[in-house]
Chain A
Amino acid sequence: MKGEILIKNVTLVDSQGTHGQADVLVGEGRIISLAGGEAAQVVEAAGLYLSPGFLDPHAHLREPGQEVKEDLCSGLTAAARGGYTDVVSMPNTTPPIDRPEAVAALKSRARAIGQARLHPAAALTQGQEGQLLTEARLIKEAGAVLLTDDGRTNEDAGVLALGLRYAASVGLPVAVHAEDAGLRRGGVMHEGEVSFRLGLPGNPAYAESARIARDLEVVRYLTEELGVRAEGHSLLHFQHLSTRRGLELIRQAKREGLPVSAEVTPHHLTLTDRYLERLEPLYKVAPPLRTEADRRALLEGLLEGSLDCVGTDHAPHTADEKELDLLRAPFGIPSLEVAWPLLYTELVEKEGFPLPTLLERFTDGPRRLLGLPPIRLEEGAEASLVLWAPRLKRPVEPRTFASKARYSPWAGWQLQGWPVMTLVKGRVVFADLLDYRP
């Protein structure tokens, strides 16, 4: 059978490990063969790795309403360049995505753009106001994969309990930004030695763990008293874990069999509150960068699987906004284009983190959260793939980002493992083989 693309002499690597070299023939959206064949386009890929495409469970693409920061086109293009074939977009846009029509509109626009695939998340409550539930069933039919009020914290435990019960009944997972707004107060960075010294309002680690503890009790109530079951997906997903203490609570809850999952961001795995000593709003993010002890704990949690996946929390802003002062600058770091090379370099190359485990957290882990089966590198599998260069070393250069947010806390960091080609169902959505010399 004749294929469309032949990726020659490529090393196959996925969450199960490294599977040696193959000549991957792709056609009609699938992997036709791992033993070569005829194709119109041939990519000589000796020295490159081929993996299932990444899924980001947490990105802010800002459309509608804040297109000056990012839009679907720039965001999904950035995702494709980062090796992502699938992206879950957060609903805290202007206005928030809380109606089925809005979900359908995003889906159809993303299809027309044809870069990484979009899986919208929708608000758990109308207007993300934490009061009245959204139309979960209709929203799911329109194409949403997740409900969350991310950007806001679900203050009312009663509303969260209702939302979880209803979402589970229609087959949607719920994700929460777990942070106690009262304990956080006006915190702009981690509360600790550094914040006290810099005189910046602090956000204590316990703002996160106090809320996680409460939410876990809500889940326990629902599952143990009311018999709520999530079929094939997570019941409650904790977004962007930042603290050792929060992780300990999740680890314990999972051990007890509660149906919860959690994610961690590239920045919480590579940066700490010490970077704020540079007095630079670039490092201002919510939840904040924590201590080295927290960072090491998160790394441990990612390794053992208490943290199921890496979510970028890609949160672009305009450069002008990020040049305000530390009190006024908005929270957020853009990272779709660097997440993989960053964690490959900092975790796998420098810390000896197992590559298959990291891949699991970029592929199977986030798919599991949404109830999607894993993609395996075998004949007949969907050809949503990323080709990446483990030895290609290049500095992070924000001015070359496809994202509209052309700044980065990792600017100048020398990273390797850069994606050089991304395929969505066999279609090349990103290719940059120029930099790569076999």
Chain B
Amino acid sequence: MSFPKHLLDFQGWSRAQIESLLETARLMQEVLARPVKKVPALTGFTVATVFFEPSTRTRISFELAARRMSADVVSFAGATSSTAKGETYRDTLRTLDQMGIDAYILRTDAAGVPHQAHRWLKKPVINAGDGWRAHPTQALLDAFTLLERLGSLEGKKIAIVGDILHSRVARSNAELLPRLGAQVVACGPATLLPAHLPGASLTTRLQEALEEADAVMVLRLQKERMDRGLLPSIPEYIAGYQLTEARLAWAKPEAPLLHPGPMNRDVELEGTLADSTRSLVERQVANGQAVRMAVLYHVLVGKQ
């Protein structure tokens, strides 16, 4: 089976390719369980993480993933300073490209930049989050973690709760999970809910979203939404949408809890829930590395 030479989103990825990629992630998980967590799969390749929007967690996860497969890694923290000075993404990326880089891991606050980069550079590009649009490796690690716990996603109801409108995690999960058989319900305050979200049904009623849910994914609430007048206040949000012990009882008894991190404890969820046995948050972080190793492997080497 051959694979697309990029991961911009899941367009062009079939269910079989995704399942095979998750299978590779399982093998990588075994590598990570060994005393020496290193394989030579990507020896000779140079990978660049280019983060125009800072995210230490995601960057470290990708860099470790690359190193564990023996790739050389360079990192460029663009923030928005160089682009603010008038240097375009294109200039920055072309400059880097003179240094013999084989694949780019790109993170930006604006949708579409990874697509633009892929067109300019004609090199493998992995989207590490572009604006509100997509965060495919996060969705893959969420799916991987859910599969680990639930066995299969066929017919399973997954609730995503929070600021859906501005969430790349929600969009990528709504794109990916239904392909693996799941049914996605997205729930949030009316002003933070788009009118359409392909792959998901939408509701402003938390109970409706959580009832009979097989798993619950909670999103981070950004304080900025208050400043922009999209929400009256944090207490107002908590009153309607905070995931509490009592509300989680609407879901199926063992339904696990996911969060892409970083968490605002006692805002989008009760702090105690985050540490409960229902929480898969730490598992998500660990699986993130295995999934990113699998993605790098498929995008760079391509064949099994």
Chain A residues within CB distance 8 Å of chain B: 192-193, 196-200, 278-281, 320, 323-328
Contact = CB atoms under 8 A, between A and B. Distances in A.
B194 A327 contact: no
A28 to B, nearest CB: 51
Say whether chain A's binding surface is mostly helix, strand, loop, or mixed.
loop
Interface in B139-164: none
A326 B111 contact: yes
Interface in B115-157: 115-116, 131-134
B168 A199 contact: yes
Interface centre among B109, B167, B196, by most A CB within 10 Å? B196
B89 to A, nearest CB: 7
Nearest to A279: B112
Greatest chain B CB density within 10 A among A197, A323, A327 is at A197
Interface in B86-120: 86, 88-91, 108-113, 115-116
Given A197-B198, A199-B168, A279 B111 contact: yes
Contact of A196 (B83, B109, B195): B195
Contacts of B194: 196
Contacts of B195: 192, 196
B171 interface: yes
Contacts of B111: 198-200, 279, 325-327
Contacts of A320: 86, 88, 90-91
Contacts of A193: 196, 198
B274 interface: no
19 contacts: A193-B198, A197-B197, A199-B131, A199-B132, A199-B166, A199-B167, A200-B131, A200-B132, A278-B115, A280-B116, A281-B112, A320-B90, A320-B91, A323-B90, A324-B88, A325-B116, A325-B131, A326-B111, A327-B110
Contacts of A324: 83, 88-89
Nearest to B120: A323
Contacts of B110: 325-328
A280 B113 CA distance: 9
A327 B197 contact: no
Judged by DSSP, the binding face of B is loop
Nearest to B115: A279
A199 B116 CA distance: 16
Given A199-B133, A279-B112, A279-B115, 9 more contacts: A199-B111, A199-B131, A199-B167, A199-B168, A200-B132, A278-B115, A280-B116, A326-B111, A327-B131
B269 to A, nearest CB: 23
Contacts of A198: 111-112, 133
B292 to A, nearest CB: 22
Interface in B56-83: 83
Interface in B152-191: 166-168, 171
Interface residues of B, number: 27
Contacts of B168: 199
Contacts of A325: 89, 108, 110-113, 116, 131
B109 A327 contact: yes
Contacts of A278: 115
B176 to A, nearest CB: 14
Interface in B222-251: none
A199 B111 CA distance: 7
User: By CB atoms of chain B within 10 A, which of A193, A199, A280, A325 has the most?
Assistant: A199
A200 B111 CA distance: 7
A167 to B, nearest CB: 35
Contacts of A200: 111, 131-133
A112 B86 CA distance: 34
Contacts of B116: 279-280, 323, 325
B204 to A, nearest CB: 16
A197 B196 contact: yes
A325 B90 CA distance: 10
B13 to A, nearest CB: 16
Nearest to B166: A199
A198 B111 CA distance: 7
B81 to A, nearest CB: 14
Given A279-B111, A324-B83, A196 B88 contact: no
Pick from B88, B168, B171 the residue with the most CB of A within 10 Å.
B88
Contacts of B108: 325
Nearest to A320: B88
A35 B91 CA distance: 59
A5 to B, nearest CB: 46
B109 A199 contact: no
A198 B131 CA distance: 9
A314 B166 CA distance: 32
Nearest to A194: B196
B129 to A, nearest CB: 11
Contacts of A281: 112
Nearest to A326: B112
Contacts of B109: 327
A323 B112 contact: no
Given A200-B131, A200-B133, A323 B89 contact: yes
Contacts of A192: 195-196
B209 to A, nearest CB: 18
A107 B112 CA distance: 42
A370 to B, nearest CB: 38
Nearest to A204: B195
Contacts of A279: 111-112, 115-116
Nearest to B84: A328
Contacts of B167: 199
A199 B83 contact: no
A279 B110 CA distance: 10
Most chain A CB neighbours (cut-off 10 Å) among B110, B113, B167: B110
Nearest to B52: A325
B92 to A, nearest CB: 11
Contacts of A326: 110-112, 131
Contacts of B198: 193, 197
Most buried by B among A198, A280, A325: A325
A253 B132 CA distance: 40
Contacts of A280: 112, 115-116
Which interface residue of A278, A320, A328 has the most chain B CB atoms within 10 A? A328
B196 A196 contact: yes
A79 to B, nearest CB: 28
A200 B168 CA distance: 10
B261 to A, nearest CB: 19
